[in-house]
Amino acid sequence: MQKTSENACFGGIQGVYTHPSDACGCDMTFGLFLPQEAQDGPVPLLWYLSGLTCTHENAMTKAGAQAWAAEQGLALVFPDTSPRGDGVADDEDYDLGQGAGFYVDATQDPWAPNYRMWSYITEELPALLGATFALDMDRQSITGHSMGGHGALTMAMNLPGRFRSVSAFSPICNPTGADWGRKQLTAYLGADETAWERHDASLMMRKAGFDGPMLIDIGSNDQFIDLLRPETLAAAIADRRQPASFRLQKGYDHSYFFVSTFMEDHVAFHADALWA
Protein backbone atom coordinates (compact mmCIF):
# COMPACT_ATOMS: atom_id res chain seq x y z
CA MET A 1 0.00 0.00 0.00
CA GLN A 2 1.27 3.47 -0.86
CA LYS A 3 0.47 6.73 0.89
CA THR A 4 -0.63 9.34 -1.63
CA SER A 5 -1.21 12.10 0.90
CA GLU A 6 -1.87 12.79 4.57
CA ASN A 7 -3.19 16.11 5.87
CA ALA A 8 -4.03 17.35 9.34
CA CYS A 9 -7.81 17.64 9.56
CA PHE A 10 -9.93 18.62 12.60
CA GLY A 11 -7.28 17.30 14.98
CA GLY A 12 -6.95 14.03 13.07
CA ILE A 13 -5.49 12.89 9.75
CA GLN A 14 -7.15 12.74 6.33
CA GLY A 15 -5.16 10.29 4.26
CA VAL A 16 -5.37 8.96 0.71
CA TYR A 17 -3.89 5.54 -0.05
CA THR A 18 -3.45 3.34 -3.12
CA HIS A 19 -3.01 -0.42 -3.14
CA PRO A 20 -3.10 -3.35 -5.58
CA SER A 21 -6.50 -5.05 -5.41
CA ASP A 22 -6.89 -8.77 -5.99
CA ALA A 23 -10.68 -8.38 -6.15
CA CYS A 24 -10.62 -5.72 -8.87
CA GLY A 25 -7.42 -6.71 -10.64
CA CYS A 26 -6.04 -3.16 -10.61
CA ASP A 27 -4.79 -0.48 -8.25
CA MET A 28 -7.53 0.98 -6.04
CA THR A 29 -7.51 4.26 -4.10
CA PHE A 30 -9.38 5.15 -0.93
CA GLY A 31 -9.55 8.03 1.52
CA LEU A 32 -9.44 7.46 5.28
CA PHE A 33 -10.05 10.00 8.03
CA LEU A 34 -8.68 9.04 11.44
CA PRO A 35 -9.76 11.20 14.39
CA GLN A 36 -7.35 12.27 17.11
CA GLU A 37 -8.58 9.40 19.31
CA ALA A 38 -7.00 6.89 16.93
CA GLN A 39 -3.61 7.88 18.36
CA ASP A 40 -4.62 6.18 21.61
CA GLY A 41 -6.29 3.05 20.26
CA PRO A 42 -8.79 1.60 17.78
CA VAL A 43 -11.85 3.70 16.91
CA PRO A 44 -15.17 2.75 15.27
CA LEU A 45 -15.43 2.96 11.47
CA LEU A 46 -18.11 4.58 9.31
CA TRP A 47 -18.15 3.67 5.63
CA TYR A 48 -19.24 6.24 3.03
CA LEU A 49 -20.06 4.85 -0.43
CA SER A 50 -20.22 7.45 -3.18
CA GLY A 51 -22.49 7.72 -6.21
CA LEU A 52 -22.23 7.61 -9.99
CA THR A 53 -19.26 9.40 -11.61
CA CYS A 54 -17.58 9.92 -8.22
CA THR A 55 -14.18 8.83 -6.97
CA HIS A 56 -12.95 8.57 -3.37
CA GLU A 57 -12.41 12.33 -3.49
CA ASN A 58 -15.93 13.75 -3.95
CA ALA A 59 -17.35 13.09 -0.49
CA MET A 60 -13.95 13.51 1.11
CA THR A 61 -13.83 17.14 -0.03
CA LYS A 62 -17.54 18.10 -0.35
CA ALA A 63 -19.56 16.33 2.34
CA GLY A 64 -18.12 18.08 5.39
CA ALA A 65 -18.12 14.76 7.20
CA GLN A 66 -14.73 14.97 8.90
CA ALA A 67 -15.76 17.76 11.28
CA TRP A 68 -18.66 15.71 12.62
CA ALA A 69 -16.65 12.48 12.67
CA ALA A 70 -13.93 14.22 14.69
CA GLU A 71 -16.56 15.44 17.15
CA GLN A 72 -17.83 11.88 17.59
CA GLY A 73 -14.43 10.13 17.54
CA LEU A 74 -15.19 8.08 14.43
CA ALA A 75 -13.03 7.05 11.49
CA LEU A 76 -14.41 7.55 7.97
CA VAL A 77 -13.46 5.55 4.89
CA PHE A 78 -14.19 6.83 1.37
CA PRO A 79 -13.66 4.02 -1.19
CA ASP A 80 -13.70 4.55 -4.94
CA THR A 81 -16.83 3.65 -6.91
CA SER A 82 -15.27 1.26 -9.44
CA PRO A 83 -12.03 -0.23 -10.72
CA ARG A 84 -10.02 2.08 -12.97
CA GLY A 85 -7.16 1.97 -15.43
CA ASP A 86 -6.28 1.56 -19.09
CA GLY A 87 -6.93 -2.18 -19.00
CA VAL A 88 -10.30 -1.89 -17.22
CA ALA A 89 -13.48 -2.10 -19.32
CA ASP A 90 -15.41 1.14 -19.71
CA ASP A 91 -18.45 2.54 -21.50
CA GLU A 92 -19.23 5.89 -23.08
CA ASP A 93 -22.33 6.28 -20.88
CA TYR A 94 -21.77 7.83 -17.45
CA ASP A 95 -23.90 5.18 -15.72
CA LEU A 96 -21.91 2.10 -16.77
CA GLY A 97 -18.24 1.25 -16.48
CA GLN A 98 -15.59 3.30 -14.70
CA GLY A 99 -17.20 5.43 -12.00
CA ALA A 100 -20.31 3.23 -12.04
CA GLY A 101 -19.47 -0.06 -10.35
CA PHE A 102 -22.88 -0.31 -8.61
CA TYR A 103 -21.27 -2.29 -5.75
CA VAL A 104 -21.89 -5.67 -7.37
CA ASP A 105 -19.64 -8.55 -8.44
CA ALA A 106 -20.09 -8.64 -12.21
CA THR A 107 -20.52 -12.02 -13.87
CA GLN A 108 -20.77 -10.85 -17.49
CA ASP A 109 -18.12 -9.88 -20.03
CA PRO A 110 -16.40 -7.47 -20.39
CA TRP A 111 -17.04 -6.48 -16.76
CA ALA A 112 -16.39 -9.70 -14.84
CA PRO A 113 -12.56 -9.56 -14.66
CA ASN A 114 -12.46 -6.25 -12.75
CA TYR A 115 -15.91 -5.16 -11.59
CA ARG A 116 -16.01 -6.94 -8.24
CA MET A 117 -16.90 -4.01 -6.03
CA TRP A 118 -19.04 -6.10 -3.67
CA SER A 119 -16.07 -8.31 -2.77
CA TYR A 120 -13.77 -5.32 -2.62
CA ILE A 121 -15.95 -3.36 -0.19
CA THR A 122 -17.13 -6.26 1.97
CA GLU A 123 -13.98 -8.43 2.06
CA GLU A 124 -10.72 -7.07 0.69
CA LEU A 125 -10.76 -3.45 1.86
CA PRO A 126 -12.02 -4.25 5.41
CA ALA A 127 -9.21 -6.78 5.81
CA LEU A 128 -6.64 -4.22 4.67
CA LEU A 129 -8.03 -1.48 6.91
CA GLY A 130 -8.20 -3.70 9.98
CA ALA A 131 -4.63 -4.91 9.51
CA THR A 132 -3.14 -1.47 8.85
CA PHE A 133 -4.91 1.21 10.88
CA ALA A 134 -6.15 1.79 14.44
CA LEU A 135 -9.73 0.69 13.73
CA ASP A 136 -12.22 -1.29 15.80
CA MET A 137 -13.61 -3.56 13.08
CA ASP A 138 -16.20 -4.94 15.49
CA ARG A 139 -17.83 -1.48 15.40
CA GLN A 140 -18.76 -0.62 11.81
CA SER A 141 -21.63 1.34 10.28
CA ILE A 142 -22.34 2.31 6.69
CA THR A 143 -23.85 5.17 4.68
CA GLY A 144 -23.81 6.35 1.09
CA HIS A 145 -25.25 8.66 -1.53
CA SER A 146 -27.31 7.70 -4.61
CA MET A 147 -25.61 4.62 -6.11
CA GLY A 148 -23.66 4.49 -2.84
CA GLY A 149 -26.90 4.61 -0.86
CA HIS A 150 -28.02 1.58 -2.87
CA GLY A 151 -24.76 -0.14 -1.95
CA ALA A 152 -24.99 0.78 1.73
CA LEU A 153 -28.56 -0.48 2.10
CA THR A 154 -28.04 -3.72 0.21
CA MET A 155 -24.79 -4.55 2.00
CA ALA A 156 -26.33 -3.87 5.40
CA MET A 157 -29.29 -6.15 4.68
CA ASN A 158 -27.24 -8.91 3.04
CA LEU A 159 -24.60 -9.04 5.78
CA PRO A 160 -26.49 -9.35 9.08
CA GLY A 161 -24.33 -8.45 12.06
CA ARG A 162 -21.68 -6.60 10.05
CA PHE A 163 -22.99 -3.06 10.50
CA ARG A 164 -24.51 -1.57 13.64
CA SER A 165 -26.49 1.04 11.70
CA VAL A 166 -27.19 2.05 8.11
CA SER A 167 -28.18 5.32 6.49
CA ALA A 168 -28.50 6.67 2.97
CA PHE A 169 -28.76 9.97 1.11
CA SER A 170 -30.98 9.79 -1.99
CA PRO A 171 -30.46 6.05 -2.49
CA ILE A 172 -31.39 4.12 -5.62
CA CYS A 173 -34.18 2.19 -3.90
CA ASN A 174 -35.59 -0.15 -6.52
CA PRO A 175 -33.25 -0.65 -9.51
CA THR A 176 -35.10 -3.76 -10.67
CA GLY A 177 -38.22 -1.64 -11.15
CA ALA A 178 -36.75 1.10 -13.36
CA ASP A 179 -35.28 0.98 -16.86
CA TRP A 180 -32.26 2.86 -15.55
CA GLY A 181 -31.41 0.22 -12.93
CA ARG A 182 -32.29 -2.71 -15.15
CA LYS A 183 -29.69 -1.51 -17.65
CA GLN A 184 -26.81 -1.87 -15.22
CA LEU A 185 -28.05 -5.05 -13.56
CA THR A 186 -28.40 -6.74 -16.95
CA ALA A 187 -24.97 -5.57 -18.08
CA TYR A 188 -23.18 -6.67 -14.92
CA LEU A 189 -25.21 -9.69 -13.77
CA GLY A 190 -26.98 -10.99 -16.88
CA ALA A 191 -30.62 -11.50 -17.75
CA ASP A 192 -31.52 -13.81 -14.84
CA GLU A 193 -33.44 -11.45 -12.58
CA THR A 194 -33.11 -13.72 -9.55
CA ALA A 195 -29.45 -12.63 -9.45
CA TRP A 196 -30.58 -9.01 -9.15
CA GLU A 197 -32.72 -9.37 -6.03
CA ARG A 198 -29.95 -9.06 -3.43
CA HIS A 199 -28.95 -5.75 -5.02
CA ASP A 200 -32.38 -4.14 -4.70
CA ALA A 201 -32.99 -2.40 -1.36
CA SER A 202 -36.79 -2.58 -1.64
CA LEU A 203 -36.75 -6.31 -2.36
CA MET A 204 -34.19 -6.95 0.39
CA MET A 205 -36.30 -4.97 2.85
CA ARG A 206 -39.24 -7.30 2.18
CA LYS A 207 -37.03 -10.39 2.33
CA ALA A 208 -34.68 -9.68 5.23
CA GLY A 209 -34.90 -6.15 6.65
CA PHE A 210 -32.17 -4.81 8.89
CA ASP A 211 -31.62 -5.61 12.54
CA GLY A 212 -30.60 -2.14 13.64
CA PRO A 213 -31.35 1.56 13.25
CA MET A 214 -31.92 2.95 9.75
CA LEU A 215 -32.04 6.55 8.47
CA ILE A 216 -32.89 7.66 4.92
CA ASP A 217 -32.99 11.22 3.58
CA ILE A 218 -34.23 12.23 0.12
CA GLY A 219 -34.78 15.73 -1.24
CA SER A 220 -38.28 16.56 -2.47
CA ASN A 221 -36.70 18.40 -5.44
CA ASP A 222 -34.31 15.57 -6.31
CA GLN A 223 -34.01 15.66 -10.09
CA PHE A 224 -33.61 11.86 -10.19
CA ILE A 225 -36.43 10.98 -7.80
CA ASP A 226 -38.44 9.06 -10.42
CA LEU A 227 -35.41 6.85 -11.03
CA LEU A 228 -34.66 6.43 -7.32
CA ARG A 229 -38.22 5.16 -6.63
CA PRO A 230 -38.19 5.98 -2.88
CA GLU A 231 -41.89 5.11 -2.56
CA THR A 232 -41.07 1.43 -3.12
CA LEU A 233 -38.66 1.33 -0.19
CA ALA A 234 -41.00 3.35 2.02
CA ALA A 235 -43.79 0.87 1.30
CA ALA A 236 -41.53 -2.09 2.04
CA ILE A 237 -40.43 -0.52 5.34
CA ALA A 238 -44.06 0.02 6.31
CA ASP A 239 -45.15 -3.48 5.29
CA ARG A 240 -42.28 -5.07 7.22
CA ARG A 241 -42.75 -2.67 10.15
CA GLN A 242 -39.04 -2.02 10.03
CA PRO A 243 -37.82 0.56 12.57
CA ALA A 244 -36.56 3.39 10.38
CA SER A 245 -36.54 7.15 9.89
CA PHE A 246 -37.48 7.96 6.29
CA ARG A 247 -37.38 11.71 5.66
CA LEU A 248 -38.37 13.67 2.57
CA GLN A 249 -36.51 16.97 2.89
CA LYS A 250 -38.46 19.85 1.35
CA GLY A 251 -36.69 21.81 -1.39
CA TYR A 252 -33.45 19.80 -1.51
CA ASP A 253 -32.02 18.18 -4.64
CA HIS A 254 -29.51 15.40 -5.36
CA SER A 255 -26.34 17.44 -4.89
CA TYR A 256 -23.67 17.62 -2.22
CA PHE A 257 -25.35 20.77 -0.94
CA PHE A 258 -28.07 18.37 0.22
CA VAL A 259 -25.64 15.76 1.53
CA SER A 260 -23.55 18.26 3.49
CA THR A 261 -26.67 19.84 5.02
CA PHE A 262 -27.72 16.59 6.69
CA MET A 263 -24.31 15.00 7.24
CA GLU A 264 -24.21 16.06 10.89
CA ASP A 265 -27.49 14.20 11.50
CA HIS A 266 -26.18 11.05 9.86
CA VAL A 267 -22.82 10.99 11.65
CA ALA A 268 -24.51 11.56 15.02
CA PHE A 269 -27.03 8.83 14.18
CA HIS A 270 -24.23 6.35 13.53
CA ALA A 271 -22.23 7.48 16.56
CA ASP A 272 -25.17 6.60 18.80
CA ALA A 273 -25.08 3.04 17.47
CA LEU A 274 -21.31 2.68 17.32
CA TRP A 275 -20.66 3.88 20.86
CA ALA A 276 -23.63 2.08 22.42
Catalytically active residues, by annotation: 146, 222, 254
Closest CA to 273 of 215, 234, 207: 215
**Is 218 buried (19+), middle (13-18) or exposed (0-12) by CB count in 10 A?**
buried
DSSP state, residue 65:
H
Q: CB neighbours of 248 closer than 8 A, spacing ≥ 6?
A: 218, 219, 220, 230
Q: Let me know: does 118 contact 81? Beta carbons within 8 Å.
A: no
| Integer CA distances (angstroms), 183 to 108, 110, 187, 205, in order | 13, 15, 6, 22
